[in-house]
Structure 1
Amino acid sequence: MKKKGIAIALALGILAPTLHPVKAATKEVKIESVTFNGSRVPATVEEMSKPFTTASVVVKYSNGKTKKFPLTYKELFKTTDKFKMSNGEVFQAGTPTDYYGDPITDKSVDGKPVHYVSDAPDANSLLRPMKDGSLYLVSHYEYDSLDNAGNPAWRRVPASMTLTKLYQNMKTGELKVSTVDKIDFSAVNGLWVPCNGSLTPWNTHLGSEEYEPDARSFEFDTPDKLSQSTAHLKDFAKLYFDDEKKANPYNYGFIPEVFVSSDGMTRVVKHYSTGRRSNELMVVMPDERTAYFGDDGEYTTLFMYVADKPRDLSAGTLYAAKFTQTSAENGGAGNLEWIKLGHARDSEIKRMIDKGIKFSDIFEVSDVPKEGFIPVKQYSGQSANYGKIEYLKLKPGMEKAAAFLETRRYAAMLGATSEFNKMEGLAVNAKDKKVYVAISDIGKGMEKNDQDPTDHIQFAKVKAGAVYELSLKPGQKNITGEPISSGYVASTMKALLVGEDLAQPDAYGNKANVNKIAGPDNLSFSEDYRTLFIGEDSSQHINNFVWAYNVDTKKLSRVLSIPAGAEATGLQAVDNRNGFSYLMSNFQHPGDELDNFAPTAVKIEDVKKAVDATYGIDQAGAVGYIHGLPNIKKLQEELKKQPKTQQRKNR
């Protein structure tokens, strides 16, 4: 066996042990490597308008033989597909429901009421099988792009999740929909912009609430000049509760946990002790206590949470990162220190919200420099304060309220870095103790800017973005020297994969190199494949891609192209479900923003027509998966079952 083969096999953890010379003659066949043969880029209008792949997985054995597994994309359902819900009503999968469980009606066109339907399916959690082998899938519906009149509906329409029971073909592994039902969020005041999500080690789903409404704007906006943040929240409350007065920004911006029982019943809890931010998602480490968050938007912060008890996110300690740059080369690198924001229980923070706490109860504010006030610049949910420097002074005794209700503002006041731009998905590599973080656009706060209150990050702009690697270590202390009770504390951050902006668009209108990542968003890691999967949300590629990056061989392979103008979402690497492996992968808002591309190889109008014919422009997204991935453990077991006569043939 060549040294290169040995290295790959070692990385897979499946290399045969050294044998005694007498036994060498009967050496068993082993898997030497598992690699992806990447898909080509779609070249025709037909290929560009639908999910497309020519990718495959190639398994190489120690006897020199190989086996090829072609990959295909399987669509489970569109958001516009109709299902009978548990309340007896039939409506579309992407239709949000109100406080009473009824479908929310779009009345934007006089005399033509219709149900809202999301075109934006996002996170998937294909749960581990129940005791009877049943499979359930939790899926997000992030927002509605347009109402029936063609007006933007983003954020102002309440969001939803579904629970899908799946039928699994035990011969082929193919999945089919058995039932689809809406998950009830009435106990937690509804669901605000659920973006990405994750599956916990204890088999619950962690959702998200992105672009938290700005409490400062909500309190101080005047009726004649409402910010987007306030206007969206008021519309949300009217549609969800049928009562605009129930709008409260402090009800949203948290992590909801969805519990699913073996009979398909669901229960939802929002975790207020994890802090309030623009949650892309929360990812839990193997210790079942430590977690990291994506904080999407401009001028955002990296946060860490350490729960008091494993598998219990109802109480814990929250930290924010201070980034100290060590390099600006190849996407940049730096060291991380952690600032303790505070400790809380869900019940404590919920009690504050229920009592009607306001922004002005927590902070004094000034729009100009003032003695005793700290300047901060942070993302504020598209509010009137967006992009501005704020001058804040904490009111006496309000440390806990600030830490868990105004988490990013308070972190910035204490010296944390609030300069990250478009911090998206995260994934954990348990064996190597690494966390991967997607930055879809290296720009704005991450560039040098002497006008900002702090300038911790000074990277060169890369519109195509990068994926960063965080190294986790035990025995770490926070910035004041107190021990952090976790063995999974990130100490360094460096770019792992960096996109490449093009000086001029290519023939298909792509503004970034199609053989590299652009706008990395969703991340998911497969321990069996030793592979980081990356889904794109890019204005740089006319067709966004899903990639496979082997962390040992450093090979990057394109495994899927989604419809032009769509965002790749719902990414989840599933190593084993009843003996089969999957890569869950959705797409949302196909056809969106195609006018920003000017291809010469095809006509953009032809691409738009083809997308519209199948999905409708900004009308329907799809929930699905990549089929055909071989289950590594099953392949290993099959080799062990080979008769000895077959093994001797391999001498």
Structure 2
Amino acid sequence: MKRKRIPNKKWAAPVLGLALVLPAALPAQAATPAQAAVKSIEFVGMNAPAGAQQMAQVYTGASVKVTYGDGTVKTFPLAYKQLFKSTDSVGGTIAGVSVDANGKPIMDTSAPNNPVPYVSDAPDANSLFQVPGMSPTSLGGNPLSLVTHYEYITSNNAGDSAYGLVPASMSLTKIDQNKTTGELTPVELQKVDFSGVDGLWIPCNGSLTPWNTHLGSEEYEADARAYEADPTQTYLSSFVQNYYQDTTKKGNPYDYNYIVEVSVDQDNKASAVKHYSLGRFSHELAKVAPDGKTVYFGDDGGNTMLFMYVADKAQDLSAGTLYAAKWIQTSAANGGSANLEWISLGHATDDEIRAEIDKGLTFSDIFETSDKPADGFATIKTYPSGKTEYLKLKPGMEKAAAFLESRRYAAMLGATSEFNKMEGVTLNAKDKKAYIAMSYVEKSMEKDSKGADPVDDIHVDKISSGVTYELSLGGGQKDRSGEAIASDYVPQTMKGLLWGEDLSAPDAKGDTAADDKVANPDNLSYSEQLRTLFIGEDSGMHANNYVWAYNIDTGKLSRILSTPSGAEATGLQAVEDLNGFSYVMSNLQHPGDEMIVPDPLKTEVLNNIDANFNNRKSGVVGYVSGIPSMEQIAAAAPEESGGGQISSPADDSLIPLRDTAQAAGAKVDWHGKNKEVVVTKGTHTLRLNVGEKTALLDGKSVSLPVVTQFSKGKVMFPSGVWDQFAKL
């Protein structure tokens, strides 16, 4: 995501409306009194920072306002909680330290007589989750796991750029969740070992899979064509020599730029694999649909592409089919809109592609090249070269091209390669929508008025401040060749949902995009319960980057977090009802970098940032607290508001709880250590333990006619109680 490190990129920003009102998770017009208990949920936004002190802080002044059916109002104030700075030591390990293949810190020797470890100032993706069976923390709370990316190191100790030259990293932090307050406290931290997969290349954003693993990323791939011609034209040699602490190491560009899956076991140990069959390009992140098979990607850079992967088996990303989209434009306004046609690049397994890499393949083993148009050569223009190329596939190299040179091969087949700065991706499962952030809608996405490019599929109106797009998903789709696509979550259309407002001249803080709207959207995360799209900025057009909450039903927008000037808002993750508490994970990286604030205000802001963030060497890992879970909203409801009630029924027959609840659209969480089941349906939560004859409905005790029990590996629950709960 880092702006200035990527050649030929102009960095600008998007924009959108302020104070946000969210409709009730259970709308007021619902039939039963219990459903009418919550009338509306509103994010009350905060003002933009005023003055040098606020501009140098990470903070929130926002709140959540819940209005119940009887008019009673409950306000939940939000707060930003810092877990740790990237320069902090947690349990004896520096959070953002860069480590070599042996797990030892990589030393920065740029300042004579003062060797220090390289430490990242750029924490990025977060995945906070609970692993069943993990032992309690020393603080006595619920044990949680947090995987965090450290995208790069901005500069070395002498002040020179270190971007891409030093291997990046991830950390796994054991978190204590206070059982009463929900407060999160880091207990111990370890670096994730990537020595089995050749190290980790520039990990940008990430996501949590439906099966509770973390999907990381490797973006801004080294151009294998450029590397073969002159290895000094890429970061690769420096990267591998630092990682292996071996100055003779050459490196292979095809070892990098894949999706990385990190699994955590009940002993809080992490293991990592790279999924080569998901294709090689500038992976911003991967997001998995509810089917556990369909995967969507961000592809960061200029002249990039929209890819989709459909795995052969649910919850197994080791084999599948890779697709690329053709944009068939229907409108140029407000980011544009289009129908999407999908082109199959082929099927592969991770092992097949790894075997191709191990052969030592080079770019020239896959393609013939020409320096001008020629018979049999396709004319394309894609990232990372950004130049018009004339390529011909060598015989038998289809699979290698599809998965090692995914963008070039897809362009040769006719897929659209004109997207610009395609960043975050998230999903709205209920409405079958995906959302994608295009940070800067300009350059290759504008009309090719000179007729210089090979194709001009995308020719939309320029919005330098960017657009967040909505994609409609569906089943029964076929690819361009007429073959059925084995997914019910195939994007069919794409249109602008939120777009920025570019200013004709900078304002007093240096903003070149309207400050009360989103500018340059990047991280995205969606709350199913709150019907809210959270948006984090990476803007070169806002003096301060913000996190926003956008209600997809009302179209209202609220600013809920401000980061220090020059910092990017990263690590965005909406976490819902985790042991009865909800959070929005949100980090910041490189505070004070690339500031657009004019002097003399800039000097004052920088002085404050230096004091707050270790002379601009520290990024921050943290979260927005105070966002109410559905359980907390229900528990705070007044008695007269129509909250759900369950009597003790005579029917003591038992039903399989998970199967029944999921069929009714409820969410089911199993906490194995204490044999607890949590069922969430709308604003109502049912908690029960196997072997007990009571349950908690929205925090209140309910007697059961018979104990909950295990039978043939399933939790069996009284059907009469379930029937009443399902009607609430």
- After TM superposition, give the deviation of residue 129 of structure 1 in Å: 4.7
Q: How does 1:169-184 map to 2 (within 5 A)?
A: 169-184=178-193
Q: Where does residue 597 of structure 1 map in the other structure?
A: 597
The residue type equivalent to 2:472 in the other structure is S
Distance 1:270 1:357, change over 3 A: same
Q: Where does residue 408 of structure 2 map in the other structure?
A: 409
Q: Which consecutive residues of structure 2, in runs of 5 or more, have no partner in the other structure?
A: 1-20, 135-141, 646-728
**What SS does the aligned partner of 2:217 have?**
coil
Q: How does 1:268-417 map to 2 (within 5 A)?
A: 268-380=272-384, 386-417=385-416
Q: Where does residue 497 of structure 1 map in the other structure?
A: 498
Structure 1 window deviating more from structure 2 (420-429 vs 241-250): it is 241-250
Deviations 1:227-251 (A, max 9, x none): 1x2xx11001111012342411001
Distance 1:640 1:256, change over 3 A: farther
Deviations 1:379-399 (A, max 9, x none): 11xxxxx32101110000000
Distance in structure 2 (CA, Å) of the matches to 1:590 and 1:31:
40
Structure 1 window deviating more from structure 2 (213-222 vs 303-312): it is 213-222
**What SS does the aligned partner of 2:296 have?**
strand
Q: Is the CA contact (8 Å cut-off) linking 1:590 and 1:616 kept in structure 2?
A: no
Q: Is the CA contact (8 Å cut-off) linking 1:575 and 1:631 kept in structure 2?
A: yes
Distance 1:16 1:353, change over 3 A: same
Q: Where does residue 47 of structure 2 map in the other structure?
A: 40
Q: How does 1:143-182 map to 2 (within 5 A)?
A: 143-182=152-191
Deviations 1:50-108 (A, max 9, x none): 11221000000000011101111000000110134xxxxx4421111110110111111
- After TM superposition, give the deviation of residue 634 of structure 1 in Å: 3.6
Q: Is the CA contact (8 Å cut-off) linking 1:474 and 1:487 kept in structure 2?
A: yes
Match for residue 71 of structure 1 among 73, 78, 91: 78
* TM-score, normalised with respect to structure 2: 0.82
Matched, 1:136 2:140: no
**What SS does the aligned partner of 2:328 have?**
strand
Distance in structure 2 (CA, Å) of the matches to 1:398 and 1:344:
13
Distance in structure 2 (CA, Å) of the matches to 1:581 and 1:485:
34
Q: Is the CA contact (8 Å cut-off) linking 1:123 and 1:139 kept in structure 2?
A: yes
Q: Is the CA contact (8 Å cut-off) linking 1:8 and 1:32 kept in structure 2?
A: no
Q: Is the CA contact (8 Å cut-off) linking 2:147 and 2:214 kept in structure 1?
A: yes
Q: Where does residue 544 of structure 1 map in the other structure?
A: 545
The residue type equivalent to 2:529 in the other structure is D
Match for residue 214 of structure 1 among 210, 223, 231: 223
- After TM superposition, give the deviation of residue 110 of structure 1 in Å: 2.3
The residue type equivalent to 2:244 in the other structure is F
Deviations 1:109-158 (A, max 9, x none): 22221100000000000013533542010000000000111110001110
Q: Is the CA contact (8 Å cut-off) linking 2:523 and 2:537 kept in structure 1?
A: yes
Deviations 1:278-302 (A, max 9, x none): 0000000000000100000000000
Distance 1:38 1:484, change over 3 A: same
- After TM superposition, give the deviation of residue 618 of structure 1 in Å: 4.2
Q: Where does residue 93 of structure 1 map in the other structure?
A: 95
Distance in structure 2 (CA, Å) of the matches to 1:80 and 1:621:
8
Q: Where does residue 241 of structure 2 map in the other structure?
A: 238
Q: Which consecutive residues of structure 1, in runs of 5 or more, have no partner in the other structure?
A: 1-6, 85-89, 381-385
Distance in structure 2 (CA, Å) of the matches to 1:645 and 1:526:
23
Distance in structure 1 (CA, Å) of the matches to 2:642 and 2:568:
50
Distance in structure 1 (CA, Å) of the matches to 2:215 and 2:322:
17
Deviations 1:347-382 (A, max 9, x none): 0000111121111110011222222111111111xx
Match for residue 56 of structure 2 among 49, 65, 74: 49
**What SS does the aligned partner of 1:12 have?**
coil
Residue identity over aligned pairs, in percent, reads 56
Q: Where does residue 383 of structure 1 map in the other structure?
A: none
The residue type equivalent to 2:587 in the other structure is N
Distance in structure 2 (CA, Å) of the matches to 1:129 and 1:268:
16
**What SS does the aligned partner of 1:329 have?**
coil
Distance in structure 2 (CA, Å) of the matches to 1:642 and 1:168:
32
- After TM superposition, give the deviation of residue 13 of structure 1 in Å: 3.1
Matched, 1:577 2:578: yes
Q: CA RMSD in A?
A: 1.9
Structure 1 window deviating more from structure 2 (129-138 vs 497-506): it is 129-138
Q: Is the CA contact (8 Å cut-off) linking 2:378 and 2:391 kept in structure 1?
A: yes
Deviations 1:32-60 (A, max 9, x none): 11110001000011111011221000000
Q: Is the CA contact (8 Å cut-off) linking 1:573 and 1:584 kept in structure 2?
A: yes
Distance in structure 1 (CA, Å) of the matches to 2:379 and 2:588:
40
Q: Is the CA contact (8 Å cut-off) linking 1:40 and 1:53 kept in structure 2?
A: no
Distance in structure 2 (CA, Å) of the matches to 1:45 and 1:69:
28
Distance in structure 2 (CA, Å) of the matches to 1:429 and 1:622:
28
Count the aligned residue pairs.
615
**What SS does the aligned partner of 1:294 have?**
strand
Distance 1:111 1:377, change over 3 A: same
